[in-house]
Chain A
Amino acid sequence: MSWISNLSRPTVKKVGLSKDIPDNFWDRCSKCGAMLFHSEMTKSHFVCPHCEYHFRLPTHERFELLFDNSQYNLIQLPKVSEDPLHFHDVKKYTDRLKEARKKTKQEEAISVAHGTIGGKRVVMAVFNFDFMGGSMGTAVGQGIITAAKLAEIQKASLILLPASGGARMQEGILSLMQMVRTTIAVQELKKKKIPYITVLTNPTTGGVTASFAMLSDITLAEPGAIIGFAGSRVIEQTIHETLPPDFQKSEYLLNHGMIDQVVHRKDLREKLIQLLAFFN
């Protein structure tokens, strides 16, 4: 298999951004307005201690939070040819990619790592919403396919944590096709009896919701995450009505029977350990 030669040797634990924000730096919670020290936010894994609002958790912190001893191996994802459509709107797609890379210090909107959780082998893929809204183009699709194949080879469980606005417009129809390609990849795991878990984080929408994210064996979500297919503004414009206050939130999906559990970030690792223990 050629793709496996693209996987880099297991590298580092704790990769990622250095803490260049001083601990005494404080900020305001955009939800409840409480003043928070940065150190406080890091300790609470970016959950507001006052209103429990779940902010976006940087990718490396997500891996550290969930993997045993905060240890994991990042996978180098296969390269795909960029900008197949030579897309430009008010900006060139290639420039948008450059900016996103500079901003996130990541190659693409997805990171894949493997390690253990509660002693069980796990392959985990995490989306970074700061990279072009976590949108799914060819590279992200290939990332998910790679993660699923790695899980199959390692006989590890697959855990995906999407945070995405949906398909990436700048790759046009090729992005739409990632919905099919990722579906093929995760459906294959079912035949192999490999547990596939998604933890839906804020936001999980569009083509991501309408493909691999909703095809998991077990579907968890973080509190208050927006999860849906159509954007709320589009819906409002279509039906000319105000939307219910908890519309498309995790709790709303739970009440409508669409997901298995809403799990607070502080409990997520323990819940995953408990869940993985049910499977061989």
Chain B
Amino acid sequence: MHYLDFEENIRLVDEKLAAPNLSESEIKRLNSKLAHLIERAYHRLTPWQKTQIARHEDRPHTLDYIHDLMPDFFELSGDKNFADDKAIIAGLAHFRGQTVMVIGHEKGNSTETRLKHNFGMARPEGYRKAIRLMKLAEQFGFPVITFIDTAGAFPGVDAEARGQGQAIASCIATQVELRVPIIATIIGEGGSGGALALAIGNKVLMLENAIYSVISPEGCASILWKDFKYAKQATRVLKMTAKDLLKFNIIDDIIPEPLGGAHRFKSETIQRVGDAIQKSLDEVNKLSKETLVIQRQTKFLNITSDFHHKKKF
């Protein structure tokens, strides 16, 4: 377990709890102390702390959600043009009885898998794979479920040469007109256009401690403050937490994380996300193909800087 800087006290108690031959009363005392410390650390997190949690390496990633929620997942690969980009994982699966197309950024959880998945930073072929499979889902009437978790699209010479901008634009355009339900969930880091490219949902859900932003706090700091060390300040002004985004009508619902964060309570978090997706899916499954497109477009067109006047479709 990796501990964040504000979890130091929690780490100390965790270590004590791991010691052998503890008496029952001692375990009880330590557990109550632990609960108290978690409560204190987590009841009011700063945007910077949420950023740290959103990026936590032990946080459940797309493949963890797929593993728990869609055990018969059948992976589909490649853009049938250039390559398979493992920064985006996609395939067919049953989700609670219904066939769905699941697509998500995967960051990896070890050095080896992080390299394999390029830390969740997709190249154009990743977005083109997503486009191909969204259209396949449309062909058969399968809902699309996306998981968003990326620092951003990969900034590289090869990615630019193959049209990163065009790929992201086309991925957005595909979802804008897709005639099947799309449920998007921001599970960790929602970094800029690379995240948005999978997030044009009829419903956009977001985990409590996830972040979603136009630019990374470090990027924002290095442009506006001319020093990336001002990232902490940038998280405050960018308004990138789930609570902020709900206020702006960017997301439809916040999925609460267990106190202590998704990295500490993986399977419970995954179940909560599964329940939230199902609830959203039940709502939009009733809509006709035409209504789905209109609902999705209206929802995004209604996002304006006048968010105080909440408009709902």
Contact = CB atoms under 8 A, between A and B. Distances in A.
Given A84-B248, A248-B160, A169 B303 contact: no
B165 A215 contact: no
A82 B305 contact: yes
A69 interface: no
A227 B161 CA distance: 11
Q: How large is the interface on A (under 10, 10 to 19, 20 to 34, 35 or more residues)?
A: 35 or more
B192 A247 contact: no
B172 A180 contact: yes
B19 interface: no
Contacts of A239: 156-157
Given A180-B196, A214-B166, A214-B169, A173 B176 contact: no
Interface stretch (A60-68, A107-115, A181-189, A261-269): A181-189
A176 B192 contact: yes
A81 B238 CA distance: 17
Given A82-B305, A169-B214, A256-B162, A211 B245 contact: no
Contact of B153 (A90, A169, A230): A230
Contact of B220 (A84, A169, A174, A248): A169
Band of interface residues on B: 35 or more
A187 B173 contact: yes
A228 interface: yes
Contacts of B303: 174, 177, 181
A84 B305 contact: yes
Interface string A164-206: 0001110111111101110110010000000000000000001
A183 B192 CA distance: 16
A280 B166 CA distance: 27
Contacts, number: 170
A73 B172 CA distance: 32
Contacts of A84: 248, 305-307
A177 B200 CA distance: 10
Interface string A210-221: 111111000000
A1 B237 CA distance: 35
A77 B145 CA distance: 37
Contacts of B170: 214-215
A166 B112 CA distance: 34
Nearest to A211: B169
B125 to A, nearest CB: 14
A50 B72 CA distance: 65
B250 interface: yes
B215 interface: yes
B54 to A, nearest CB: 14
Nearest to A209: B165
A85 B165 CA distance: 27
B207 interface: no
A196 B238 CA distance: 33
A275 interface: no
Interface string A130-159: 000000011000100100000000000000
A55 B300 CA distance: 36
Contacts of B173: 183, 187, 215
A179 B196 contact: yes
B304 A175 contact: no
B240 A172 contact: yes
Closest 6 CB pairs of A and B: A209-B165, A230-B155, A84-B305, A89-B224, A210-B168, A229-B165
Interface of B: 153-157, 159-166, 168-170, 172-173, 176-177, 192-193, 196-197, 200, 212-215, 219-220, 223-225, 233-234, 237-240, 244-245, 248, 250, 297, 300-301, 303-307
17 contacts: A84-B306, A84-B307, A88-B237, A169-B214, A174-B304, A176-B213, A177-B303, A183-B176, A184-B301, A187-B173, A210-B166, A210-B172, A213-B169, A230-B160, A235-B155, A235-B160, A252-B161
Given A89-B233, A174-B248, A210-B197, 16 more contacts: A171-B305, A172-B238, A172-B239, A174-B250, A174-B305, A176-B192, A176-B196, A179-B169, A179-B172, A183-B176, A184-B176, A215-B169, A229-B159, A231-B155, A234-B155, A252-B161
